[in-house]
Chains A and B, each alone.
Chain A
Amino acid sequence: MAEAITTAIEPPKRFRFDWILPVLLHPGATFRKIAEQTRGVWLTPMIVLTLATLARVLISGSIRQQAALSGAPVLPPDFQYYSPEQQAQFMQAAQATSGPVFIYIFPAILALLGVWVGWLLVGGLLHLVVTMFGGRGETSYSINLVAWAGLPFAIRELVRAGAMLATRQLIDAPGLSGFAPVDPSGTATYLAALLSLVDIYLIWHMLLLIIGVKLGNSLSLVKAASGVIITLGIVVGVEALLAYLVGKLGSLTIIRPFF
């Protein structure tokens, strides 16, 4: 009896690395465990996601640095129209921004901001939408769920990092962007930005969210799927809009949430 009481009041583990594979392989059973938690258990997946993102940033940074050292930075499409003076100025500017601050630190900060802010925004929005569909889950569950369901993005980051490491080339056409028109203009530019965000990992993430929302909110499959699709539709649509607008403004780096 004394033993049973001791077990009941044992505080939950801070790190749940033992849930990583089960979330991906047996999401239903694992999400049930997550739903039973009374406190946040999001730290583990967020650490994994953070580390995977940092790995990708480090590898892409090393490729950029190598290109900068060899005098071959990433050139803009209209570079052939630059006069020799403009080309020299561009090269100087590229040299000035080829230090570790611009190649590693700023991209890492932006990527991590995207991961953490994106997680909170998606968690909050998902909870709102699911509640509107009649869900009765806690906010903390939505936050936990979005973190754990984000693990496919960690895999995506690792796959991209591995691909870049193997080819020593940056990935310039992610997702379904290959289906976009070769020379997008107007709304097609937005479509291209949207397609670049859609890949198998996003679909995997969506399926995990649907399973988790259904289990944790006692919703029908249709309502759970509708809530998740609406949430991700809004998030991806807004992110593509941001990418589109930034692309319109120039070749600036964008904050990329973890979708």
Chain B
Amino acid sequence: MMGQVAVHALDGVDLEIAPNSFYVVMGPSGSGKSTLLHLIGGLDRPTSGSIRVGEQSIDSLDENELAVFRRKTVGFIFQSFNLIQSMTALENVAFPLRFARVRRGERRRLAFESLRRVGLEDRALHRPSELSGGQQQRVAIARSLINDPQLILADEPTGNLDTASGASIMQLLSELHQSGRTVLVVTHDARMTQVATRTVNLLDGKIVDGAAPVEAVEAAGVLAESTTGDETRQVMEARTDDQQAKA
């Protein structure tokens, strides 16, 4: 609600995402991109409609079940990295395992392995404030991979990075996709479409495709190009009817 007016962050969105695909969601600020990402990742709940990830309908899960779903199925990457400043890179990456009854030694081993995958094993004992933006985002990616999720959700992952760092993060996301994961990126960065298998344009909470809507998106200041990928098998469906982000 914005004062007396109900604002629908998403409205009538019907989206199916194939497994092992790389989706990029683009749109102007306030178009509902992040809301869509948060709904799919179980960080928000739809006021109506349904969200299914694999065989699981996540809109019916309670808070505990949602926490389990997030921990096992989804890896989140945020624009502002969301690293815990008082912890080292290694501790940040190991953090999600604290609540999965993984022994401390095993947590450290897995975290180090995850850091190695993003090329930051030599920064394991550095705190976020001692790392560059690109390195912090790599730590965040390593943290998102610690539970070996099948679905990676990234919210403006290059938004706070310079061009070179952004390109390396893009490359890393592309490698995650090529390793068999499904990647969904919300971004303003048009370069991301180069590695995507499909681009979805959002405007005012609705998916817009085709020439006219793209023009509308371009008119709103966002460059977007839509490509169609293979959708032979449905793994994820986010269907929102008259959908509104949870306050």
Residues on A lying within 8 angstroms of B by beta carbon are 71-72, 75, 77-84, 87, 91, 182-186, 189, 248
Contacts and interface: CB of A to CB of B under 8 A. Distances in A.
Given A185-B65, A185-B68, A82 B82 contact: yes
B86 A81 contact: no
Contacts of B64: 183-186, 189
Interface in B39-87: 43, 61-65, 67-68, 70-72, 76, 78, 80-82, 84-87
Contact of B99 (A77, A82, A185): A77
Nearest to B102: A182
Listed from nearest, the 3 A-B pairs whose CB atoms lie closest are: A183-B68, A185-B65, A77-B99
15 contacts: A72-B86, A75-B95, A77-B67, A77-B99, A78-B67, A80-B84, A80-B143, A82-B82, A83-B80, A84-B82, A183-B64, A183-B72, A185-B65, A186-B64, A186-B65
Contacts, number: 54
Contacts of B95: 75, 79-80
B211 to A, nearest CB: 37
Given A80-B96, A81-B82, A185-B65, 9 more contacts: A72-B87, A78-B67, A80-B76, A80-B84, A80-B95, A81-B70, A182-B101, A183-B100, A185-B68
A184 B62 CA distance: 11
Given A80-B95, A81-B76, A87 B82 contact: yes
Contacts of B76: 80-81
Given A182-B101, A185-B65, A186-B62, A79 B80 contact: no
A82 B98 CA distance: 16
A183 B71 contact: yes
A79 B85 CA distance: 12
B98 to A, nearest CB: 8
B93 to A, nearest CB: 10
Contacts of B78: 83
Q: How large is the interface on B (under 10, 10 to 19, 20 to 34, 35 or more residues)?
A: 20 to 34
B165 to A, nearest CB: 18
A250 to B, nearest CB: 9
Which of A71, A79, A185, A248 has the most chain B CB atoms closer than 10 A to its own CB?
Answer: A185
A189 B98 CA distance: 18
Nearest to B101: A182
Contact of B84 (A78, A79, A182, A186): A79
Contacts of B72: 183
A186 B68 CA distance: 12
A91 B85 CA distance: 11
Contacts of A84: 80-82
Contact of A87 (B67, B68, B71, B84): B84
A91 B86 CA distance: 10
Contacts of B61: 185
Contacts of A78: 67, 70
Contacts of B67: 77-78, 183
A185 B80 CA distance: 31
Contacts of A183: 64, 67-68, 71-72, 100
Interface in B81-139: 81-82, 84-87, 92, 95-96, 98-101
A192 to B, nearest CB: 10
A185 B62 contact: yes
A81 B43 contact: yes
A185 B62 CA distance: 8
Contacts of A81: 43, 70, 76, 82
B84 A75 contact: yes
Which of A71, A91, A183, A189 has the most chain B CB atoms closer than 10 A to its own CB?
Answer: A183
Given A183-B64, A183-B68, A80 B101 contact: no
Contacts of B43: 81
A80 B82 contact: yes
Contacts of A189: 64
